[in-house]
Amino acid sequence: MAETMKSAIFESAGHMAIEDVPMPRIEKPDDAIIRIVRTCVCGSDLWPFRGINQSAEHSQNSGHEAIGIVEQVGDDITSVKPGDFVIAPFTHGCGQCRACRAGFDGSCMAHDDNFSMGAQGQYIRFQHAQWALVKIPGRPEDYSEDMLKSLLTLSDVMATGYHAARTAQVKPGDTVIVLGDGAVGQCAIIAAKMMGAKRIISTSRHDDRRALAAEFGATDNVAERGDEGVAKLLEISAGGADAVLECVGTDASFQEAVAVARPGALIGRVGLPHAQQISGEGTFYRNIGVYGGPASVTTYDKNVLLDAVLDAQINPGKVFTNTFELDEIQPAYEAMDERKTIKSYVIVEH
């Protein structure tokens, strides 16, 4: 293997760059080295890019979504081998602890280093690979670009949207409100439909995002915000949703989720929290539950989502509305920051 590779670097707020960095190496027996074929920019990557989250200048990119080819494995790895085509989830569960066995591998009890970094590059060292990696049948060249896009969503956003619906316990016939029209919110709509929701209300102010939400299964859309938006959501949902999927992470979005949930409803919370406060009184008198956190990516992929994508039951890859090369990482971030694209798809290897 070469000594260096191309990787995106976080230079400072608003600035990404591509540099030559040392090639990752096997450091522990449960490591795998993956040659990345496709990666992308996540909405959570925008927090440091916008200067909201403080990240060190000239540091590793926060990218955590990838599909690729296994190049090397540590001595403890028997589940995958060099040459396997895999989904590299952003979570690294063990599959054996009580949390993983209960279906919450996003909060694995065995690992402190449970999340990926540095996936916007040519290679990644994937830690705790034995159970967490998900094998895809065949090779990348066996699939259309559209299918590769859908497979890439299984490293994070489709599983995260599914987690929102699962933790909100969406049931057949439910009325569901989805807060957030980014890739996770769009995938939450797919998941709510998979679980049998009868009415799914999206909350987009952008025509392209509203149209995609409708294609994925949204039956209604409320573009208004603030008190006007809450009033309209309550009207359409006949007094409040059976489940609310909070896919933004801001305090305003969470407070709206509480306001539009019917008594006894659950909020599935997957937006990365920022300056967020949970009011005990606000949820107490209406018996509203708040549930959610990092998605159970490997569990969902292995049990449900990979087959759903391969069988063309769902097509979450449509959230990628612009494509970039790795050396175009700056415009890939800018396009998402400026809401010119729902999610930026990055081709690393042709």
CA distances from 199 to 65, 192, 237, 241, 244 (A): 30, 9, 8, 9, 12
The CATH homologous superfamily to which domain 4-156+296-347 belongs is Medium-chain alcohol dehydrogenases, catalytic domain (3.90.180.10)
Spell out, as residue ranges, where the chain has pLDDT lower than 50: none
pLDDT at 310: 98
pLDDT at 203: 97
pLDDT at 244: 98
pLDDT at 1: 67
Helices 207-216 and 183-194, axial angle in degrees (round to 10):
20
Decide: pTM greater than 0.95.
yes
Local structure of residue 313 (DSSP, 8 states)? S
pLDDT at 304: 98
- Locate 198 and state its tokens: 């009868």
Q: Which residue has the tokens 């449970």?
A: 114
CATH number of 158-291: 3.40.50.720
CA distances from 18 to 7, 121, 346 (A): 5, 8, 13
Nearest to 301 by CA among 124, 93, 1, 81: 93
pLDDT tens column, 33-79: 999 999 999 999 999 999 988 889 999 999 999 999 999 999 999 99
pLDDT at 278: 77
Local structure of residue 312 (DSSP, 8 states)? T
The segment(s) of the chain belonging to CATH 3.90.180.10 are: 4-156+296-347
pLDDT at 17: 97
